[in-house]
Amino acid sequence: MTEYQHIPVLLKEVLEYLQPNEGQNFVDATLGGGGYTAAIANLVAPEGKVLSIDLDGDAIKNFQFLISNFQTNPKLKKHNDKNITLHKGNFQDIDKIIEHHEFPAPDGIVADLGLSSYELEHRGISFQTNQPLDMRFDQSQDLDAKFILQSYGQKDLERIFNDYGEEKFSRQIVRKILEARIKNQPLKHTEDLYKLIEEALPKPVKHKADDSARRIFQALRIEVNHELRNLEEFLPKAFDLLKPGGRLVVVSFHSLEDRIVKQFFVGLTKGCVCPPEFPQCICGKNPKGKILTKKIVLAGEEELQKNPRAKPAKLRAIQKI
């Protein structure tokens, strides 16, 4: 497979905060195109190991192809092929996956919550290409975007569009979806959904249909893949699995994800939670982590010129005390 192309976002910054060194062990919780995995594997070789996880079977197959063809893949050194372990699975199960592979306590874990270019172009995730309304990362699961649009009730659809898309015209869009059902006009392709969104918007804002579509498509994708729930389960497990001094780096792409990561990291830095009037601490709580990024890290101009899709990327990093 050579179609699974993806430029790793904030690669230089990810490596700066992870600080991989020879002989260390790392987990790439979201393999994608393998950019992080390849770079980390080269830095920890020959004794260090990388465990790479992805829910998308195509990502696993693609990277298996890459590491079996070192002659045409300068990103990897030949002696790294045995030091990379690939696992198809959900990063929310990182604890079980590490246990299954008897992988050592990681010196660092990285998760890129973004989408690969391949997924954007082949899974009906973007309205800019006409594809079947799928949106599944895991092609073996039953729930897809088409099922949601055909089966979910009004309240659930409005909840999804409001909570995950923060779309202020959710009610009007849902009304159109329900009308399409009554008329037996199923939404099967991204183009169908885009046209419906455009029709649902009030005349003064129809020219902003792209903005609403982007939010609606995001909301559906999050619901299909349970993205926020998975992230909330992944973060505490990943942090607990780190070695003392180990680092967790997360790259998010929208405010909902970034908010979850920020709040989780801040919570780890809090010590005593006793009321101020207590003469001495009785809770016994100490900070568990030290935030390494005082503010979010964004892509620089040089990277944005090469990869405009890096623009919404936000990196946060924390170190285990």
Do 11-118+227-320 and 134-225 have matching folds?
A: no
- Which residue do the tokens 């600080």 mark? 19
pLDDT at 68: 75
Per-residue pLDDT tens digits for 260-280: 999 999 999 988 888 888 888
Domain ranges of the chain: 11-118+227-320, 134-225
Q: Given its phi and psi angles, is residue 273 left (phi above 0), alpha (psi -120 to 50 degrees) or beta?
A: alpha
Q: Which of 40, 90, 39, 80 is nearest to 60 (CA)?
A: 90
pLDDT at 3: 59
pLDDT at 72: 47
Amino acid in the structure at residue 233: E
CATH for 134-225? 1.10.150.170
pLDDT at 266: 95
Per-residue pLDDT tens digits for 72-105: 455 555 445 679 999 999 999 999 999 999 999 9
Which residues in the chain show pLDDT less than 50?
Answer: 1, 71-72, 78-79
**Whole-structure pTM value:** 0.90
Looking at domain 11-118+227-320, does it have CATH number 3.40.50.150?
A: yes
Q: Which residues contact 31 (CB under 8 A, 6 or more apart)?
A: 37, 52, 53, 54, 59, 60, 63, 86
Rounded to 5 degrees, φ, ψ at 87 are -140, 125
pLDDT at 71: 44
Per-residue pLDDT tens digits for 162-175: 999 999 999 999 99
pLDDT at 73: 55
Identify whether the C-beta of residue 246 lies closer than 8 Å to the C-beta of residue 108.
yes
pLDDT at 67: 79
Q: Which tokens in the block code for residue 296?
A: 């979010």
User: What stretch of H or E contains 108?
Assistant: strand 108-112
Contacts 24+ apart (CB under 8 A), 210-214: 210/127, 212/167, 212/169, 212/173, 213/127, 214/127
